[in-house]
């Protein structure tokens, strides 16, 4: 089955700096790659996603890039703010053929220092 | 529109006791999922359902059973709880339409097995 690895496990940045989280996946049939943000004690919430027919997607300070050949995708957060402190999870899915199941990475705890 | 709700929010069980966790969604989603999240780890899929009356095993199904008698509800049962099942349980749902893979999560159920 699909295996998703996520690095780093923790990331500390100064407010205003950029943060980058990287994930690799094993199943070349994966075609949907969401990123979730989870604040302490809360539910995971989707912040951005990308499909395999797109190489990059941006939404304000957040961007995701996908390299299908290398089977890796990354989350980029620019101009980080204290409210960006949370745990971020990447995931991969082969879509409807497998019930839209998601395989999650292990998470990255991001701390933005003021 | 409440989205995805879970009951109970928190429960303490003794080893060997049984319980049922309830997930309900009001978005008319076909697909529903149960995950567990252990400290410092990502989410792992326990069971999922692609429609009313259907269930399938995920990554970590042992010790759990599920039922989807109504489209809007997905029940997770623990027949004989073990300390290893201490975790936070999240339910999620998604649509089955093309391009609608986003999973929406419930607030979670925190379970402690003594």
pLDDT digits (tens, 9 = 90+) for A19-56: 999 999 999 999 999 999 999 999 999 999 999 888 99
Provide the pLDDT for residue B105.
Answer: 97
Q: Which two tokens stand for residue A86?
A: 């949370």
Provide the pLDDT for residue B39.
Answer: 84
CA distance, residue B92 to nearest chain A CA (Å): 10
What is the Cα–Cα distance from B92 to B24, expressed in whole angstroms? 9
Provide the pLDDT for residue B40.
Answer: 76
Q: What is the dihedral of CA B16, B17, B18, B22, to 10 degrees?
A: -130
Provide the pLDDT for residue B101.
Answer: 79
Please give the angle made by the CA atoms of B37, B7 and B91, to the nearest 5 degrees.
40
Which residue numbers in chain B have pLDDT < 70?
A: 97-100
Asked whether the beta carbons of residue A107 and residue B42 sit closer than 8 angstroms, the reply is: yes
Asked whether the beta carbons of residue B33 and residue A101 sit closer than 8 angstroms, the reply is: yes
Asked whether the beta carbons of residue B107 and residue A43 sit closer than 8 angstroms, the reply is: yes
What is the Cα–Cα distance from B105 to B58, expressed in whole angstroms? 17
Provide the pLDDT for residue A96.
Answer: 79
pLDDT digits (tens, 9 = 90+) for A82-104: 999 999 999 999 887 788 899 99
């Amino acid at each position: 089955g699909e295996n998703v690895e996520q690095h780093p496990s923790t990331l500390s940045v100064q407010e205003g700096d950029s943060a980058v989280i990287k994930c690799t996946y094993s199943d070349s049939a994966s075609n949907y790659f969401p990123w979730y943000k989870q604040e302490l004690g809360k539910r995971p919430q989707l912040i951005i996603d990308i499909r395999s027919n797109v190489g990059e997607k941006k939404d304000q300070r957040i961007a995701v890039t996908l390299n299908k050949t290398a089977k890796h995708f990354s989350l980029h957060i620019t101009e980080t703010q204290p409210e960006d402190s949370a745990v971020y999870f990447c995931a991969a899915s082969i879509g409807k053929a497998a019930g839209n199941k998601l395989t999650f990475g292990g998470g990255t705890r991001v701390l933005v220092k003021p | 529109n409440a989205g995805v709700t879970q009951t109970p929010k928190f429960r303490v069980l003794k080893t060997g006791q049984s319980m049922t966790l309830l997930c309900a969604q009001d978005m008319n989603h076909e697909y529903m999922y149960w995950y567990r999240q252990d400290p410092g780890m990502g989410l792992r899929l326990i069971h999922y359902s692609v429609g009313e009356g259907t269930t399938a095993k995920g990554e970590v199904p042992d010790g759990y059973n599920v039922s989807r008698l109504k489209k809007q509800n997905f029940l997770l049962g623990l027949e004989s709880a073990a300390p290893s099942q201490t975790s936070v349980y999240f339910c999620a749902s998604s649509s089955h339409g093309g391009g609608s893979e986003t999973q929406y999560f419930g607030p979670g159920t925190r379970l402690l097995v003594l």
